[in-house]
Structure 1
């Protein structure tokens, strides 16, 4: 019994379809004429249905479509009555009849082909495995050789079996033997797995970088970034530190700081400068012509717009409130501090002033700036964002309190200072002096009880003062002291034993030293024997030069140093001049005549006053000083450092010298009668010196002076008065001294002298 038509093994060897079988040759009616060689059994098509329900031709057509073939070729065959249709209609019976009519030779060729019928073109099909053993196992014909269908071979009849590629070429060109142009090779796509691995590595690296950055931000640098963010939200407000006050010896305010306001403008925001200037002028007490240029838009020299201009500083709080009430665009009011000087010109040359930044410029304000100036504080707090930028409740808040400056208590007595200033000013105006000075010293302590300069100024308005008014004549100006130097010369001679209190000096009306002749204002005949009190009383230049010759240049120079000449006293004012004294090596021939009488050297009025205070203090020099105490903000009082002291003369010599100088006020015809103080014994000396101008030449005016002490029997105070005017010390300065000393003694309740001054013999 023949096998079933549906047996897939029919017409195959080992399950592989014979390459010579082509269903395309089937009869259109479902059968084939036996022996014609043009028709084949329908079983070929029956076997080409795949297990999925599609025929291999349909699968080939689908693959052809994907490979760029004609997707509609199978459909066209059906429309045109293709050879496949009869096989499908014939079913199993047709397949059986075709099998009977066209048996397949074991060599795989159609019998009809053996009879000489033309062989149809072989149909391209799947390429069998290349393994020869597998090929034989799958039923390939023995005549095909070891290569099988892949390599081609020959059938039992001797015909060459084309390879699969050649079959494909023949099918493509319509017949065997015609080569077909190979399609252009396509570029191989990258390996998907390599691309996936590369993408994975890149993504992993990206995640590692991001993760590392997150670790850095969250763990390593978190505190630093948090601190930076906090700083950006922190607003700092300065807390001003009030400047310390300056008191007199009785704690009366001489200078202190008060709260004030500053008014400024941003010219770029001022809408109507003219109207703003008119409204501000009466409040700020400034003319419109001064305010308008500051309010109007203007630029710097480089073309940059000016955005800040001070309109007024240190104005009263009430004035600042009124300016704020105007609500002028571009005009602002801020906190300020102002130095208030209740006495205006009282001790102005002594106190000095500050700039707008409250930094001392002159006087005590400058000399004790570090003590007076406080340390500003600050308040830092956290603010929110936006235009309001308000403080965040409960946020960061740190306040560093300001440390107000310490106050300074001076040795000055305000009432005495006022009286001395008044008397000096009146006397200097009377004698038409260019400048004048007066200083009152406590001989025992070195305290400066009053220190006045002429001309003065208003310390509340320092901008209106000239340079001449701002200087302190007691420490800034140096002069040739003149005859007041004779007390130093004779005191040194007494201390060295060159002369005694009862010694006499033979003199004449004049004496020549070098190329200069020195004469007396009270000339005496040649050979006159003058006493030491007589030298003081008549201010004898010849007698003082003669004593200086006996003392010697070196000793005179040494005693000038001991009396504090040639060096600043360190009173407390900045810019104090040290003066100038000449060592003997610098002396010329005339120096031996000029230096003993106070010419050819330069001193300050304060230096000469300190020298006379040493004589009044029993021969002990005490450093003059202005500061008594410093007072911290909490009220702690710290006394000023003790003044320097050193002995210049013995007590006996100092007493003898002081007694001799009483002759200046008491001896008939003496030079200092106008310095007498009713009820008190006075000792002192007149002087007429010179003032050296900046060009190095002497001015035409004299420097008239008087320095004295009272009570002479037990001195308490020394007062020195200098005036740059025409005249001698007895006429210009002595009257002012008398007034000042009388007030000082009365104010301090010093009892009048209980003894009369001694009687003096001038010549013998």
Structure 2
């Protein structure tokens, strides 16, 4: 159709243009007016990322406030796979894996994740490495603020403190047991990410829920004593070719000053450690205590009035009970008129059996449980074994005899140390404690509740036991190597056959020594265990020298002076 009038053609054209423009205007009104909120939200949703903000984990310190575990500034590295050029993925993966110590294939898989805008590549990277990552200039690679756990004393108290895993949770020790308290409450942040390079827009839109910092722990541990205990123990394990060992240092009222395990590990590099090195053998490993357990039988006999330290016996080197032969560790002629104190000093199994004949099974069992056998210590560490103590109703005809001298029952090292702490504390057992109290984010200290306590034997009985244990450290006893010049020492050796579950029977020995000093005013208790020493295996030869080193150091470190008294002579044989 052809219009002859130019004005009509012009008007028709303008009408068409006006109609088209009205469509554009309507669409603009819809986009910028009616649906503006919807599209703005979609755009913002494409740019916003939710980032977890971990709370600052509480510090763990020793008794003097020296840090054993603390939190330091760190960075997290993330990727936005949608922004990474597919042609550069291999290059990006290679550079990042080399810089961050990651597996190149896993990094490549992460940055190639389809339909993803946020993939975490690494946690707890140092700020310096974080800056290096950004300096590479790769589109779609960014960093966010984080924190990382550091252990400034390396392996010192590692098996007690534990470690924090890559997920930010405790993986062992107190870090695991007290994870909720230490970790605090995480927060979160929504940050705006630029579409061009995937970097955080500092002045962009965002929301933040601030994290709540975790509480810290102050321990009773003394870092110096802990170091000495670990060093002396490691030397002994090496010297006597032992499989492993433990040392516990504690006060009579239950405060644990040192808890050493060998082998050990560096929690800063826990991933490199073998699973056996991560164990806290002090509470996780059960063993037959052997002669160190005789003090419980002795305490029961004294408390029940069945013997006195001067009661005498004629003790051969072996005897038969039913069809089973029990013997002492060394052959000897019959000890004529040996005192009960002499039986303990010479660690006679046969003498202990003879002295305990009139002690009922249920009485022996009750004293064992009162001293802490068959139950967790209450120290609050993960993986603790209760040991093994069956009720008397299950004992066979001969079970009570080895039980009386510390075999066919099992304990952990802290249980055994607690027995000697109870004796040193005048017969009152106090639940062993590691944690002195908590620290808030400002460092304010709140003391932990007082531990539970109970009387096990009388003060008079505990004093009698200590005098008898001084004899075990004397010239005629089994542990003269435990003597400390200037100090009175009381203690007991143990040499027990070692039950190995994998072997299905007894193999090798457990050598131990437990004691206290000064004997007339006990301030410290030290217990040493060596598992399967092969060069020598008697507790007096292997564990007693470790006790001597650790106790000597601890007494000096805590400025405990000698009492200046002289130990009374233990009467070993009647006239």
Task: Report what 1:250 is aligned to.
Answer: 64
Distance 1:684 1:229, change over 3 A: same
Flag the structure with larger Rg: 1
Task: Report what 2:436 is aligned to.
Answer: 628
Q: 2:370 aligns with which of 557, 562, 583?
A: 562
Q: 1:508 aligns with which of 316, 319, 322?
A: 316
Task: Report what 1:324 is aligned to.
Answer: 134
How far apart, CA to CA, are the structure 2 residues paired with 1:572 and 1:373? 17
Contact 2:340–2:355 at 8 Å: present in 1 too?
A: no
After TM superposition, give the deviation of residue 504 of structure 1 in Å.
1.5
- SS in structure 2 at match of 1:475: helix
Distance 1:708 1:274, change over 3 A: same
Distance 1:475 1:381, change over 3 A: closer
After TM superposition, give the deviation of residue 529 of structure 1 in Å.
2.4
Task: Report what 1:439 is aligned to.
Answer: 248
Greater fraction strand: 2
After TM superposition, give the deviation of residue 387 of structure 1 in Å.
11
Matches within 5 A, 1:409-428: 409-428=218-237
After TM superposition, give the deviation of residue 283 of structure 1 in Å.
3.3
Distance 1:336 1:500, change over 3 A: same
Contact 1:479–1:690 at 8 Å: present in 2 too?
A: no
After TM superposition, give the deviation of residue 700 of structure 1 in Å.
1.6
Distance 1:703 1:387, change over 3 A: closer
Contact 1:230–1:382 at 8 Å: present in 2 too?
A: no
- SS in structure 2 at match of 1:551: coil
How far apart, CA to CA, are the structure 1 residues paired with 2:198 and 2:317? 91
Task: Report what 1:402 is aligned to.
Answer: 211
Task: Report what 1:585 is aligned to.
Answer: 393
Task: Report what 1:688 is aligned to.
Answer: 495
How far apart, CA to CA, are the structure 1 residues paired with 2:103 and 2:50? 32
Superposition RMSD on alpha carbons, in Å? 3.3
Q: 1:272 aligns with which of 78, 83, 88?
A: 88
Contact 2:141–2:198 at 8 Å: present in 1 too?
A: no
Matches within 5 A, 1:201-240: 237-240=51-54
After TM superposition, give the deviation of residue 696 of structure 1 in Å.
7.2
After TM superposition, the score normalised by the length of structure 2 is: 0.85
Matches within 5 A, 1:343-422: 343-379=153-189, 399-422=208-231
Count of residue correspondences: 533
1:156-175 CA deviation, whole Å, 9 max, x = no partner?
xxxxxxxxxxxxxxxxxxxx
After TM superposition, give the deviation of residue 590 of structure 1 in Å.
2.4
Which has the higher mean CA deviation after the structures are superposed, 497-506 or 649-658? 497-506
Q: 1:639 aligns with which of 419, 444, 447?
A: 447
How far apart, CA to CA, are the structure 1 residues paired with 2:324 and 2:279? 34
Contact 2:498–2:509 at 8 Å: present in 1 too?
A: yes
- SS in structure 1 at match of 2:281: coil
Task: Report what 1:595 is aligned to.
Answer: 403
Q: 1:531 aligns with which of 314, 339, 352?
A: 339
Task: Report what 1:449 is aligned to.
Answer: 257
Distance 1:255 1:270, change over 3 A: farther
Which has the higher mean CA deviation after the structures are superposed, 472-481 or 261-270? 261-270
How far apart, CA to CA, are the structure 2 residues paired with 1:579 and 1:512? 28
Contact 2:182–2:215 at 8 Å: present in 1 too?
A: yes
Name structure 1 gaps, 5 residues minimum.
Answer: 1-217, 219-224
Distance 1:682 1:698, change over 3 A: farther
After TM superposition, give the deviation of residue 582 of structure 1 in Å.
1.8
Task: Report what 1:294 is aligned to.
Answer: 106
2:389 is aligned with 1:574: no
- SS in structure 2 at match of 1:460: helix
After TM superposition, the score normalised by the length of structure 1 is: 0.65
Larger RCO (CA under 8 A, 6+ residues apart): 2
- SS in structure 2 at match of 1:706: strand
1:378-399 CA deviation, whole Å, 9 max, x = no partner?
356999999999999999x764
Q: 1:496 aligns with which of 304, 322, 333?
A: 304
Q: 1:674 aligns with which of 481, 485, 488?
A: 481
Name structure 2 gaps, 5 residues minimum.
Answer: 1-33
How far apart, CA to CA, are the structure 2 residues paired with 1:389 and 1:364? 38
After TM superposition, give the deviation of residue 535 of structure 1 in Å.
1.1
1:112-157 CA deviation, whole Å, 9 max, x = no partner?
xxxxxxxxxxxxxxxxxxxxxxxxxxxxxxxxxxxxxxxxxxxxxx
Contact 1:709–1:717 at 8 Å: present in 2 too?
A: yes
After TM superposition, give the deviation of residue 494 of structure 1 in Å.
0.2
Contact 2:80–2:111 at 8 Å: present in 1 too?
A: no
Task: Report what 2:6 is aligned to.
Answer: none
Which has the higher mean CA deviation after the structures are superposed, 717-726 or 369-378? 369-378
Distance 1:307 1:599, change over 3 A: farther
After TM superposition, give the deviation of residue 361 of structure 1 in Å.
1.4
Contact 2:516–2:522 at 8 Å: present in 1 too?
A: yes
Distance 1:751 1:667, change over 3 A: same
Task: Report what 1:166 is aligned to.
Answer: none
Contact 2:140–2:198 at 8 Å: present in 1 too?
A: no
How far apart, CA to CA, are the structure 1 residues paired with 2:527 and 2:107? 52
